[in-house]
């Protein structure tokens, strides 16, 4: 799964024909008490890949995404990020948790997550939101972070709003700000969890445009979305999740053009 037309300018992303693995997940299981939400999901995302996760409500898409940066602890399975295996220890009750908090924090600080509800920090201006992690987690110099932050805000069309608090911004503006915050950490992979689901219909376009541009420039991303048309446009690989397993996956043309499983056929009919 490599993007054919992508030209990466990111120094973090090697240009070799066989791109390096950014995220490798194998046989991931996750249960909440008696409820098994993920039943052995595997996935590999190489640099430049745009993997779209689609599926019905409750199929486990968010849970899968949240396991990747350990906002949820997977019950079992292998997760390798930037070629680094995450060590887990058993909690003695059938679950496991990361052995090394520092390792998780380091890995998280290279995965730019964008949430459905934006989750900008309300007590900080937009620019402060964008430079917070570079300065306080990654130890970047403030001046440098501000310079980068201003560029990023310009990119997402929010230069004029740099000193505005999130509560005074529209949903679309907040989400574009949240994307700038994610970009500010120079993420190896960006994780999007339904980035447009909380938006009024007329604001969806501006956010999709920003994400689409990122995909075009070769950003590696994992995208949970209900926007099928958009997934078809930007994704290099699509995974259809149903009841915690990957029911079908492949390039978007195949998956949407000639779906094999009955469920996927029906899913595509109902959402489009």
Partner 1 sequence: MADGSIIPEAVWQTLALLSPSPPGWGGNLLRGLLHSLQIALGAFGMGLIIGTLGAYGKLYGSPLVRDLAGIYTTIVRAVPELVLILLLYYAGTDLINRTLEMAGYQRIDVSGLVAGIVVLGFVQGAYATEVLRGAIKAIPFGEIEAARAYGMSPTLMMRRITLPSMLPYALPGLANLWLIATKDTALLAVVGFSELTLETRQAAGTTKAYFLFFIAAGALYLLITLFSNVLVARIEKWARRGMPSIREARS
Contact residues for partner 1, defined by CB under 8 A: 69, 71, 101, 104-111, 113, 115, 117-125, 132-133, 136-137, 165-168, 185
Rounded to a whole number of angstroms, the minimum distance from the CB of residue 5 to ligand ATP is 29
Q: Which is nearer to ligand ATP, 30 or 162 (CB)?
A: 30
196 interacts with, out of Mg ion, partner 1, ligand ATP, none, CB within 5 to 8 A per kind: none
Contact by Cβ (8 Å): 29, 68: no
- H/E stretch holding 242: strand 237-242
- 124 vs 218: CA distance, rounded Å: 30
Alpha helices (H) in the chain, listed in sequence order: 61-68, 101-108, 126-136, 142-155, 171-184, 201-216, 228-234, 252-257, 262-271
CA distances from 64 to 23, 54, 77, 98 (A): 12, 11, 12, 16
Rounded to a whole number of angstroms, the minimum distance from the CB of residue 172 to partner 1 is 17
Judged by CB under 6 A, the stretch of 52-60, 101-109, 133-141, 158-166 that binds ligand ATP is 52-60
Rounded to a whole number of angstroms, the minimum distance from the CB of residue 67 to Mg ion is 13
Q: Please pick, from the candidates 62, 128, 175, 225, the single residue that binds Mg ion as defined by CB under 5 A.
A: 62
Q: Name the maximum alpha-carbon separation found in the chain.
A: 55
- Count of residues of this chain found to bind ligand ATP when the rule CB under 6 A is applied: 11
- 234 vs 168: CA distance, rounded Å: 31
Q: Please pick, from the candidates 13, 41, 50, 61, the single residue that binds ligand ATP as defined by CB under 6 A.
A: 61
136 interacts with, out of ligand ATP, Mg ion, partner 1, none, CB within 5 to 8 A per kind: partner 1
C-alpha 19: how far from chain center: 19
Our separate counts of H helices and E strands in the chain read 9, 12
* x/- track of binding to ligand ATP for residues 8-47 (CB under 6 A): ------------------------x--x-x----------
Question: Residue numbers of the site for ligand ATP (CB under 6 A)?
Answer: 32, 35, 37, 55, 57-63
């Amino acid at each position: 799964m490599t993007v054919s037309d992508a030209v990466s300018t990111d120094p973090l992303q090697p240009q070799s024909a066989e791109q390096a693995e950014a995220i490798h997940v194998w046989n991931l299981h996750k249960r909440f008490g008696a409820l098994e939400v993920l039943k052995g999901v595997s996935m590999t995302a190489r640099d430049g890949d745009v993997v779209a996760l689609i599926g019905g409500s409750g199929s486990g898409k968010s849970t899968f995404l949240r396991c990747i940066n350990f906002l949820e602890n997977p019950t079992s399975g292998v997760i390798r990020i930037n070629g680094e295996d995450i060590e887990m220890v058993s909690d003695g009750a059938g679950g496991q948790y990361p052995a090394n908090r520092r390792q998780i924090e380091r890995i998280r600080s290279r995965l730019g997550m964008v949430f459905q509800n934006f989750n900008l920090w309300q007590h900080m201006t937009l620019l402060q939101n964008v430079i917070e992690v570079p300065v306080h987690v990654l130890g970047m110099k403030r001046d440098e972070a501000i310079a980068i932050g201003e560029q990023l805000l310009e990119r997402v069309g929010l230069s004029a709003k740099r000193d505005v608090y999130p509560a005074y911004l529209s949903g679309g503006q907040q989400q574009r700000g949240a994307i700038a915050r994610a970009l500010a950490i120079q993420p190896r992979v960006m994780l999007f969890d339904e980035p447009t689901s909380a938006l009024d219909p007329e604001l969806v376009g501006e956010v999709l445009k920003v994400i689409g541009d990122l995909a075009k420039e070769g950003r590696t991303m994992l995208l949970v979305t209900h926007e099928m048309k958009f997934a078809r446009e930007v994704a290099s690989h699509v995974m259809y999740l149903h009841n915690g397993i990957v029911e079908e996956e492949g390039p978007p043309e195949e998956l949407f053009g000639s779906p094999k499983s009955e469920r996927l056929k029906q899913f595509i009919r109902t959402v489009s």
